[in-house]
């Protein structure tokens, strides 16, 4: 009986394949891949000069981080030491700012947010220009996460309409921004 139990443990069965698959794709790893995919889905590829140019629209602290990393060539650990934060936090901040600057909605919010209603303009500027997260927006505006997401989608649509009123818009750009 002992040998039968031992041989069953050594034989790979469908249970072990499923366990190996789950271990390879842990929830944290899947969520990270998913969030990275959706954050860069509409992103443009920018060179260093364009990033530095768009960084002028950021708040002072965020602008300093972007300028130190992309213009002065400082490493993430050096910037983290200057700001008294952990290296991992600073790496996340640099990646977040890069994603923010590459998002076409960032430029739309910077140029056309004054064409939005006041409440949507505040949310659009807080989200795209200030770089606040959804959780920070829900706390700041005393509303639910679902309402913030809906208002961000509405603001994105209205920004595209505002841009269309100023200049001709290509259907490809409208589809990229509205997706």
Question: What CATH topology corresponds to 44-102?
Answer: Arc Repressor Mutant, subunit A (1.10.10)
Q: Is this prediction's pTM over 0.75?
A: no
| For residues 138-148, average pLDDT | 93
Structure tokens that stand for 13 in this block: 């069965």
Residue 119: per-residue pLDDT = 84
Residue 173: per-residue pLDDT = 60
Structure tokens that stand for 86 in this block: 């952990």
Domains 44-102 and 104-179 equal at CATH topology level = yes
Domain ranges of the chain: 44-102, 104-179
How much is the mean pLDDT over the chain? 75
Per-residue 3-state assignment (H helix, E strand, C coil) for 68-131: HHHHCCCCHHHHHHHHCCCHHHHHHHHHHHHHHHHCHHHHHHHHHHHHCCHHHHHHHHHHHHCC
> Alpha-carbon torsion 9, 13, 14, 18, what sign?
positive
Q: Which CATH class is domain 104-179?
A: mainly alpha
């Amino acid at each position: 009986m002992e040998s039968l139990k031992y041989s069953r443990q050594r034989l790979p069965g469908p249970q072990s394949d499923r366990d190996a698959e789950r271990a390879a794709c842990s929830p944290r790893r899947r969520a990270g891949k998913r969030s990275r995919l959706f954050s860069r889905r509409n992103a443009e590829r920018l060179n260093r000069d364009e990033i530095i140019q768009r960084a002028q629209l950021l708040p002072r602290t965020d602008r300093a981080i972007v300028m130190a990393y992309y213009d002065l060539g400082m490493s993430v650990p050096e910037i983290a030491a200057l700001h008294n934060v952990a290296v991992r936090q600073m790496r996340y901040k640099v990646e977040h700012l890069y994603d923010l600057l590459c998002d076409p909605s960032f430029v739309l919010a910077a140029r056309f947010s004054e064409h939005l209603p006041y409440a949507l303009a505040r949310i659009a500027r807080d989200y795209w220009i200030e770089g606040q997260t959804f959780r920070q927006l829900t706390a700041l505006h005393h509303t639910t996460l679902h309402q913030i997401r809906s208002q961000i989608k509405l603001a994105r649509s209205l920004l595209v309409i505002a841009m269309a009123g100023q200049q001709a818009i290509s259907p490809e750009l409208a589809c990229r921004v509205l997706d």
